[in-house]
Amino acid sequence: MRLATALRWIIFGMSLLPFIVLTLGAVNNSLGPDPADTLIQETGEWTFRFLLLSLSITPLRNLGAGPRVFPYRRTFGLFALFYASLHFLIYLLFLLQLRWSEISEDILERPYITVGFTAYLILVLLGVTSVKRMMRRLGRYWKPLHKLVYLVNILALIHLSWILRTDLTEAVIYASILLPLLAYRVYKYYIGKTSRQFHSSTSS
């Protein structure tokens, strides 16, 4: 029990580390010639990294990592929401400078912002419904709802690729991680469907 608690705190601390580093960089003015751009890019990439970490938990468990890793799927998902919220807040503060009248115009007229904002809204919905009380309230609708995380990952990859259009190296790396994770889900879905059809035909 003590080991599990210690591991939980270690993972929590490591997940907060990028935020601490970025905060210290902003305070010390060591984020380069355009700190706002650095903050936007870094918080966006950390959002996607935590989304990928959350998505990787189920395959790791199924491949023998054991049940100990499973609780961290929610942890990584909530940290993805945390960094996505920072990403959006920095965009509002430093790029739009709180010009509220321009928010809807930006979202509607810039496709990469439309995609990113859509992903953020879905992520907020998933975060709000991740607590046990909401799981009980939603019942059988909870799992289908939380499968929207796959869409969030795809939208996040598109958003990132649009931002890094001059150098797609990082986007290609992220895609090479995301696509196998999604392919694994598709494989498990069809294996399960085939198995159910087989058992249904043999029992009839």
Q: What is the DSSP string of 149-181?
A: HHHHHHHHHHHHHHHTTT--HHHHHHHHHHHHH
Q: What is the model's pLDDT at position 65?
A: 57
Specify the number of domains making up the chain: 1
Answer yes or no: is 113 within a domain: yes
Cα separation of 87 and 48, whole Å?
Answer: 11
Answer yes or no: is 129 within a domain: yes
Cα separation of 129 and 133, whole Å?
Answer: 8
Answer yes or no: is 42 within a domain: yes
Q: What is the model's pLDDT at position 174?
A: 93
Answer yes or no: is 203 within a domain: no
Answer yes or no: is 32 within a domain: yes
C-beta of residue 69 within 8 angstroms of C-beta of residue 195: no
Q: What is the model's pLDDT at position 196?
A: 61
Give the pTM: 0.88
Answer yes or no: is 202 within a domain: no
What distances in angstroms separate CA 157 from CA 94, 115, 174, one per listed residue?
23, 10, 7
Q: Is the pLDDT confidence value at 88 over 90? A: yes
Answer yes or no: is 121 within a domain: yes
Answer yes or no: is 204 within a domain: no
Q: What is the model's pLDDT at position 103?
A: 80
Q: Identify which has the larger pLDDT, 48 or 131.
A: 48
Residue 64 pLDDT grade (very low, low, confident, very high; cuts 50, 70, 90): low
C-beta of residue 47 within 8 angstroms of C-beta of residue 53: no
Q: What is the model's pLDDT at position 28?
A: 92
Quote the domain boundaries for residue 169.
Answer: 2-197
